[in-house]
Amino acid sequence: MSTSTSPVQVHRHGTVAVITIDHPPVNALSQAVRQGLLAAVRKLDADSSVTALVITGVEGRFIAGADIREMNQPPGEPLLPDVVAAIDACTKPLIAAIGGPALGAGLEIALACDARLGGPAAQLGLTEIRLGLIPGAGGTQRLPRLVGVARAVSLIGEGRVLKAPEAHDLGLLDEVVTGDLLVAALERAPHVAKRRVSELPVPRGDAAAEALAFSRARKAAKSVPAIEAAIRVISAAHEGDFASGLAQERAAFLALRGSSEARALRHLFFAEREAGKVPGMAEAVARHVAMVAVIGAGTMGAGIAVALADAGLPVMLVERDDTAASAGLSRVRDLYERQVKSGRISEADVAERLGRILPTSDWSCLAAADLIVEAAFEDMAVKADIFRRLDAVAKSGAVLATNTSYLDLDAIAAATCRPQDVVGLHFFAPAHVMKLLEVVRGRATAPEVIATALTLARRAGKQPVVAGNCDGFIGNRIYAAYRRHAEYLVEDGAAPDAVDAALEAYGFAMGIFTVSDMSGLDIAFAMRKRRAATRDSRERYVAIPDRLCELQRLGRKTNAGWYAYDAAGRKSVDPLVTQLIAAARAEKGIVPRTFTALEIQNRLLAVMANEGAKALAEGVALRASDIDVVFVNGYGFPRTKGGPMWAADQMGLPRVLAEMKAAQEAGGSGSEPAPLLVELARTGRSFADWH
């Protein structure tokens, strides 16, 4: 317990014993930590010379949660509920001194203590919902006793993480300490009385507030079974005694732990951490970035400027003339004002962040930038011209990034004399909101430039995924195949709203045709026209979306696309579109057939996984899990399904291959089963196994 190799250390300060957890990097509650913590609490409780205990982490960090790696293994003794029960049963006062994250199991440990002190950097939350679980060691029973049922449902159901001031306001922290946290804990220890949260009554809250909290949680529970379980066991907190509620909580936790949703979410937990690791780059050092510039102040450029300013970086927003630069700043201000109206930030925050953004038409200012992001129109000639001009003004060693969605990164880099400094930074709209950032590596991109891009992504709170250079990179390449086959389904007999309904039933927030209307049909139309000369004549081509664009049905922006939209933005099936689809079928002599929701789901999942297999084999994607991270964070693929490659593995690759053979019959050239898919299906392996 007190040896230097133990992750749990005990030191005496007079009659107060301090239990310190030292288990890098985040003090996760591994089996060794649980063993050490349980042994320490029991031994100190039996020591008559000890009057109080303090539980903390090295440098005040506390405990960031359970060790997720152990969840895929048989549970090891002692279980977390045993440790929490021992803390709860301890006859001496315990203080949790929380200097950093106390999340999930870490907060359950803290809730079993008699008092909780937090430093300014403390973060508290029961975040198990993010892994498809509920708290399993008393969190659903203790939290309502401190904050009430309505708040507990909201906090647990949303997996919210509270900063120290809000946690104090809600009663989770007894005090926020601005000085030395351990010194403060030692000073308060002699005066802390036993106050077991488990023995507190559940406060009777406002019935209307509770009903609203339950209603909101149930809406979110549509594709997250853990939320419904959380509602049930939190309700048990004031409908029965503590022990009964604890038993119900544990049973629900164990049932959820083995669920498909929880396994998928654990897969994503590790996949998102793995995505930023690039083989062969261990020695690469990121370049220093103190000043950034964004060229192009349209919708995307404005969003990128906001994302970078939010990260604390000064941003030059560069446009062709002063009028365009001023309009760009207005777009930035509008984005911030929407956040003020929604309550996410204050007017003071807006003033501070706007102060970091300098609109300008003076390209000579770019000489001060360490990183420049081009966010101009998606046209090769436009982008190449910008990069040629950057050669004359950007300083040596500046990172030159393009926000292209489809174009050849190497062709863009060839316009400069420094292709080693060029990288793709593919932000997703809206750029200040969407978490995904595709970092595209060109043929000549230097390792330290990739390292710089990854560092910038993390600073901006983005989820980076490194992609190789090809048409559409990882995300848009696979999405193009997905959209193409959705259009085949429509031409073969499925109504657009039936395809969307099937995808939404699968877990997507919006179906693909609704998304197309929201994004604008003209974007894909321009891409198709650009590729027309090189398109394989053997590939099936659906002209329906082209005809919609020719009728100026460009989506929500024109109140008409695949659907019609009223003045309030509500969509409806448009008979004109139904007639247009029927005419397109008649031209090709297609007799429409019906598709079940499951047939639609299986076909489109197989298409995504198949194109992903091609990207893997070509080295465009480093790992199958990277593709899952891209689609979950950038394209609305349901997290509880784990991403298209994970979902294909769960479906079974022989079934996916059979579905792709049917897809090939529907789509012709370009829809062939990927050789990698064929190989894995034949050998009984999965995408997760492939390296």
Q: Which residues are catalytic?
A: 108, 128
Q: Is residue 638 within 8 Å of residue 225, measured between CB atoms?
A: no
Q: How far is CA 446 from the centre of its chain?
A: 27
User: With left for phi above 0 and alpha for psi between -120 and 50, is residue 643 left, alpha or beta?
Assistant: left
Q: What are the beta bridge partners of residue 11?
A: 18
Query: Can you tell me the distance from the alpha carbon of 302 to that of 315, in angstroms, rounded to the nearest whole number?
Result: 11
Tokens of 73: 């293994």
CB within 8 A of 147, min separation 6: which ones? 155, 170, 171, 172
Tokens of 214: 């339950």
Task: Report the Cα–Cα distance between both ends of the chain, in Å, rounded.
Answer: 40
DSSP string, 328-364: HHHHHHHHHHHHHHTTSS-HHHHHHHHTTEEEE--GG
CA dihedral (679, 680, 684, 690) positive or negative:
positive
DSSP string, 221-257: GGG-HHHHHHHHHHHHHHHS-HHHHHHHHHHHHHHHH
CB within 8 A of 302, min separation 6: which ones? 317, 328, 331, 332, 335
Scan for tokens 């927003």, then name that residue: 317
CB within 8 A of 503, min separation 6: which ones? 510, 511, 512, 600, 601, 604
**β-pairing, 571-572 with 564-565?**
antiparallel
Tokens of 350: 């807006």
Q: Is residue 487 within 8 Å of residue 545, measured between CB atoms?
A: yes
Name which of 182, 192, 188, 187 is nearest 11 in CA terms. 182
CB within 8 A of 133, min separation 6: which ones? 226, 253, 256, 257, 262
Name which of 593, 597, 616 is nearest 677 in CA terms. 616
SS (H, E, C) 110-136: HHCCCEEEECCCCEEECCHHHHCCCCC
Q: Is residue 157 within 8 Å of residue 217, measured between CB atoms?
A: yes
Query: Can you tell me the distance from the alpha carbon of 234 to that of 528, in angstroms, rounded to the nearest whole number?
Result: 52
